[in-house]
Amino acid sequence: MRPQYLLSTMLLLGFASISTAQTNDLKTKINQQIDKQYARYDSLYKYLHQHPELSFQEVETSKRMAKELRSIGFEVTTNFGGNGVVGIFKNGKGPVIMVRTDMDALPVEEKTGLPYESKIKAKNDKGDIVSVMHACGHDMHMTVFTGVANTMIQLKKLWQGTLIVIAQQAEERNGGSIEMLKDGLFEKFPVPNYALAFHVNSTLEAGTVGLSAGPFFATVDDVDITIYGKGGHGAYPQKTIDPIVIASRVVLDLQTIVSRELSPLTPAVITVGSFHGGTQRNIIPDEVKLSLTIRTYTDDVRQHILTAIQRIARGAALTAGMPDDKLPLVTIDPNPTPAVINDPKLTETVTQFYKSALGESNVIFVGPEMVGEDFGRYGKTKENIPILLTWLGSVDPQVLASCKENGTIPPPLHSPQFAPLPEKTIRTGILSMTYSLINLYNKVHSK
């Protein structure tokens, strides 16, 4: 081997070993901080799990998040975007990165049997008393979020820049990010170079993360259809125009939009989740109400589906003989949940950081999902901020093995039995996010 080639090879090997040593050193430092504070995180997680609050009602949860951030050393703004909390830590000149958590829980009666099971009941918007549970893992999100914030400050000598952490209300109701932005999140606080978040996953093993570039979660549209008819006695259907029959036709015909009007390669979902009509078996009602959820990724497919829904509803009513002034009323929520589009460059960069922190086998490529998450809205503003949402594995390996053996699946998100494996999930979330943030700050700062 020629001397110059030998020298180049030695230098490359030297840099590789330094890189590996630096990786291990940073991981060790992060894990040491997690070890020191883990009892605190465990206590916080169980407290949050036992004290869930519904969307737009996260008053005590918000206070707890503000208290945690202040105790860590953040400058905290409360009641931002409703019950939202914004924390800022300025650590010299450098990039600005935002980390987000959600805070709200669901109207679900918990059936996990855990010693810290939620027994909370609360009034919903209709005034009904309902059970409340963190069935979507937002308690885990808040715990990891707090751990990341704390560890970043403990290791502040290793990075420079500004860290913004936000805890938003009402993710489940698609209202939290709207209110944060309406209150001027990117006008009153520094505009981030990047925004990151986790969401627990009910099928990935604790200790892993899952992600992919580009479309990750879908745009979600809420659509309501009121179908009118001409009511009457159930014994004389010939004297009526039955809206239940019209609505039934609409439900079936809606399914042909995806199967016959879109390419088989185009992801889209139309689900009729609610069909309400009538009061008694022998009465044909005057109207029926349908509630739909629409899931798409592109604007053209979304618009095609929304237009087709109106065409199908109108056509079914006309076919049944309804007059023009009694055609169906189709109402589309003006604030859809936007798709989460993971920035390709950011995803590629952070994926490598995840692999260094967790090991390559624990970073899993997952395709797009048709669920919705209002985190996507932070990437749709005029600032055009690159965003990245990552699945955080949360399932006990023994549960996964048992499910595989029995041909079942673990309790899904929103299930009354949903129960993440706490310690491994918390540790993985804090390690992978903190490791990625420190490297991201240094990568951008060094450019």
Q: Which residues are catalytic?
A: 104, 171
Longest dimension (CA), the chain: 100
- Alpha-carbon gap, residue 425 to 430, rounded angstroms: 9
Q: How many residues does the chain have?
A: 447
Q: Is residue 87 within 8 Å of residue 151, measured between CB atoms?
A: no
What is the chain's alpha carbon radius of gyration, rounded to the nearest angstrom?
25
Q: Is residue 289 within 8 Å of residue 341, measured between CB atoms?
A: no
- Alpha-carbon gap, residue 409 to 322, rounded angstroms: 46
Q: Which helix (H) or strand (E) holds 137?
A: none
- Alpha-carbon gap, residue 317 to 228, rounded angstroms: 8
Pairing type for strands 387-395 and 283-284 reads unpaired
Q: Is residue 197 within 8 Å of residue 429, measured between CB atoms?
A: no
Q: List the alpha helices (DSSP H) in 57-154.
A: 59-72, 138-154
Q: How far is CA 262 from the centre of its chain?
A: 27
- Alpha-carbon gap, residue 367 to 91, rounded angstroms: 36
- Alpha-carbon gap, residue 231 to 213, rounded angstroms: 52
- Alpha-carbon gap, residue 247 to 330, rounded angstroms: 12
Q: Is residue 54 within 8 Å of residue 105, measured between CB atoms?
A: yes
Q: Is residue 145 within 8 Å of residue 45, measured between CB atoms?
A: no
